[in-house]
Amino acid sequence: MRKLQASWAVASKKLATARFLWLGQMPLSYLSFNSANLSFLARHTEHDSSYCSLYRLSVLFTLSNQNKNVIVLQKVYTAGKLRARPMTTASWNEISEAEHFVQFCETDAFLINSVSEFIGTGLRAGDAGIVLGTMPHRESLEERLKGDGLAVAVARERGQYVSIDAAATLSKLMVNGSLDAGRFVEVIGSMIMRAAQGRNRVRIFGELVALLWADGNRAAAIRLEELWNDLARTCTFSLFCAYPMQGFSGEVYEAEFTEICKQHSRVIPAESYAALTSPDERLRAITLLQQKANSLEAEIVERKVAEKALRLSEIRYRRLFEAARDGVLILDPETRKILDANPFMEDLLSYPREELIGKELFEIGLLKDMSANQAMLRELQVKNCIRYEESLETTMGKPQEIEVVANLYDEGEKSIIQCNIRDITERKEIERRKDDFISIASHELKTPITSLKGFTQVLQRRLKKYADQEALRFLTIMDIQLNKLTNLINELLDISKMQQGKLDYREEYFDLDALIREVVENLQAGTSTHQLLIEGRTAVQVFGDRDRIGQVLINLLTNAIKYSSEADMVVVCASKDEENAVVSVRDFGIGIAAAHHKQIFERFYQVTVPEEKTYPGLGMGLYICAEIIKRHQGRIWVESSKDHGSTFNFTLPLQMYHASAPGNSSGTFPLKRGRAI
């Protein structure tokens, strides 16, 4: 027994030096030690003396088969479970009679731990405890207090422990949505006076300010802190306020956060700092926070510069948007509805902007119907940019011709469709007048040209009788030039008819391979500079206008010969796949730069390079080819690069669809499939 008493005295001395908090005592006669247990306690206490506030010594009465008992040192704060004492500058016993402090916390668990220490220490010392909290926090606190051995029900019955709902209390303090100082003194002051009767001190935990802050009523939260301080001049109490740290994210709260700290006599940081117990750890944490603060300040400066640039960019965009002489619509790709419209759209369509917002394109006449609207959006999803022309009438009945260019792009995390709408009514009118002029001029020229050609042929026949070779040579040259002029006039007439949708097509089945051979043979007979070769065959009959497809072949072969004067060969390739017959014309001439590949199929477009040789022509042939192939629902394109020759390809579908080409009212192709030969 003497040995046991001596061992307990040594352990008690060590524990007193380490300032451990006893939570319970067992009768001395029930304790027994062995040398291993004692040496563990002494060594552990000496090693961890700087962490004394993070440990509790629990004397557990454990009955084993040998009736031996052990002392267990419990580590309350671990990496996995945070139960550190929140008060780092003083213990909860050292709280003064009148003190107003604030705890910032990151988790509910840490808050409950802090409040249970604060209230529980007071209850054990005979102080009154008032809790003005939310229901979940009040329930968790009571469970913790009961777990720590406190008789909460007895304390409540004696009036020592008061637990009231914070929201209900706050409602009693408000008048017309604002805090009322008189109500505060009446409700809170009387509550404190009742609890203080016959007791040393009053400890209060309040979440009223946290509720106001969470509701965004920050000014009221700071005002409530001031009312607590005013009340402290007439009543004696210790007040524990708490705020969730995540409620102060952002530079906007800096001034208010500073003001809250000024309203309190002591500020306790959140658990990520409060849990650090060694001075070295805390200095490191402070240094890290300083570094983060400096980095944040630099980032804020950069952000302000970026925000200023963004605002200027938005102002410029809005000015362009508002002042643009083209209509601009912004659409939501998901709903297909208009989100914004610039003022020019109001002038163009005679719709007020308010009526445009929320509508789809077909509802304001920019597309024919809902199916066209959906088809356009599907195409836009694939291509990201599309262009089309449309005829419409404004709300005033005025006919309009418009060009629409739609772009799909990402605006942050959201996709946006921007439609630029241009009024091309005047341009279309000019084009119509030009086409009319070309048509009239072509017809007027065709009659005298026909007469000249007829008289030339008569003269040729007569001069042959007299064997005047020089005169015949002149007439031959004249006949060649008349043929060129006739072809030019025919092309102009074709273009005029295409623009008006009146170009005639005679549809029938025809042997594509036979047509290719016929055209090649005829052209070969008229040229001695190039050998025209045919590779492959399609072995199908296609449905369409044989003469028009022949016109395409003649045009492509003529161009191939003209633009490959240094070569001596042109190759025509014929093939097919599951859906199309494919014809290619390849030359080995000057080639075409990639920048011109799309434009060369436009009307009157010519590739001109100042330092190179120029070639005669008006740029109509490829346009006519493209229109004919388009009319047959095929595709035409070029593969070429500068100085490496060109390959012009076109397809003719084996399945012809029952649909007319846009702008062409001359009839439609029936639904037919090309036939194998």
What is the number of residues in the chain? 677
What range does the domain containing 596 cover? Answer: 508-676
Helix (H) / strand (E) element for 385: namely: strand 385-393
Q: Transcribe 518-581 into DSSP letters.
A: HHHHHHHHH-SS-EEEEE----EEEEE-HHHHHHHHHHHHHHHHHT-TT--EEEEEEEE-SSEE
Last residue of a domain, one of 423, 441, 472: 423
Q: Residue 342's pLDDT is what?
A: 85
Same domain, residue pair 99 and 64: no
Same domain, residue pair 414 and 436: no
pLDDT of 65 > 70? The answer is no
Helix (H, G, I), strand (E, B) or coil at 458: helix
Residue 250 structure tokens: 């952002």
Predicted confidence band at 251 (pLDDT cuts at 50, 70, 90)?
Answer: low
**Does residue 411 belong to any structural domain of this protein?**
yes
Last residue of a domain, one of 367, 401, 423: 423
In this prediction, residues 388-401 reach a mean pLDDT of 76
**Does residue 309 belong to any structural domain of this protein?**
no
Q: Residue 78's pLDDT is what?
A: 29
pLDDT of 376 > 80? The answer is yes
Q: Residue 392's pLDDT is what?
A: 76
Among 19-28, 93-102, 322-331, 449-458, which is the least confidently predicted range?
19-28
CATH of the domain at 402: 3.30.450.20
In this predicted model, which residue has the larger pLDDT, 454 or 662? Answer: 454
Same domain, residue pair 546 and 654: yes
Instruction: Say if CB 308 and CB 259 are below 8 A apart.
Output: no
Predicted confidence band at 193 (pLDDT cuts at 50, 70, 90)?
Answer: very high
**Does residue 246 belong to any structural domain of this protein?**
yes
Percent of the chain predicted with pLDDT > 90: 27
Same domain, residue pair 32 and 120: no
CATH of the domain at 545: 3.30.565.10
CATH of the domain at 207: 3.40.50.300
Q: Residue 68's pLDDT is what?
A: 30
**Does residue 336 belong to any structural domain of this protein?**
yes
pLDDT of 450 > 90? The answer is no
pLDDT of 227 > 70? The answer is yes
Backbone angles phi, psi at 68, to 5 degrees: -100, 150
pLDDT of 612 > 90? The answer is no
pLDDT of 424 > 80? The answer is yes
Q: Residue 60's pLDDT is what?
A: 27
Same domain, residue pair 140 and 24: no
Same domain, residue pair 633 and 526: yes
Same domain, residue pair 494 and 542: no
**Does residue 287 belong to any structural domain of this protein?**
no
Last residue of a domain, one of 468, 500, 532: 500
In this prediction, residues 489-501 reach a mean pLDDT of 69
Model confidence pLDDT, tens digit, residues 528-569: 899 999 999 999 999 998 988 998 999 899 899 988 988 999
pLDDT of 605 > 50? The answer is yes
Q: Residue 183's pLDDT is what?
A: 93
Same domain, residue pair 419 and 433: no
Q: Residue 412's pLDDT is what?
A: 76
Among 231-235, 609-613, 617-621, 663-667, which is the least confidently predicted range?
663-667
Predicted confidence band at 444 (pLDDT cuts at 50, 70, 90)?
Answer: low
In this predicted model, which residue has the larger pLDDT, 92 or 188? Answer: 188
Instruction: Say if CB 101 and CB 89 are below 8 A apart.
Output: no
**Does residue 7 belong to any structural domain of this protein?**
yes
Q: How many CB atoms within 10 Å of residue 28?
A: 10
Q: Residue 395's pLDDT is what?
A: 62
pLDDT of 166 > 90? The answer is yes
CATH of the domain at 454: 1.10.287
**Does residue 298 belong to any structural domain of this protein?**
no
Instruction: Say if CB 176 and CB 211 are below 8 A apart.
Output: no
* Cβ neighbours for 226, distance < 8 A, ≥ 6 positions apart: 263
Q: How many domains does the chain have?
A: 5
Same domain, residue pair 392 and 451: no
Same domain, residue pair 527 and 648: yes
In this predicted model, which residue has the larger pLDDT, 343 or 491? Answer: 343
Q: Residue 447's pLDDT is what?
A: 67
In this prediction, residues 67-85 reach a mean pLDDT of 30
pLDDT of 673 > 80? The answer is no
- What does pLDDT average to over the chain? 76
Predicted confidence band at 401 (pLDDT cuts at 50, 70, 90)?
Answer: confident
Using the structure block, give the residue that is written with the tokens 């409060």: 274
Same domain, residue pair 140 and 50: no
Q: What is the pTM of this model?
A: 0.41
**Does residue 544 belong to any structural domain of this protein?**
yes
Alpha-carbon span 512 to 552, nearest angstrom: 12
Coarse DSSP helix, strand, coil percentages of the chain, rounded to the nearest 5 percent: 50, 20, 30
Predicted confidence band at 230 (pLDDT cuts at 50, 70, 90)?
Answer: very high
pLDDT of 264 > 70? The answer is yes
Same domain, residue pair 536 and 438: no
In this prediction, residues 628-648 reach a mean pLDDT of 91
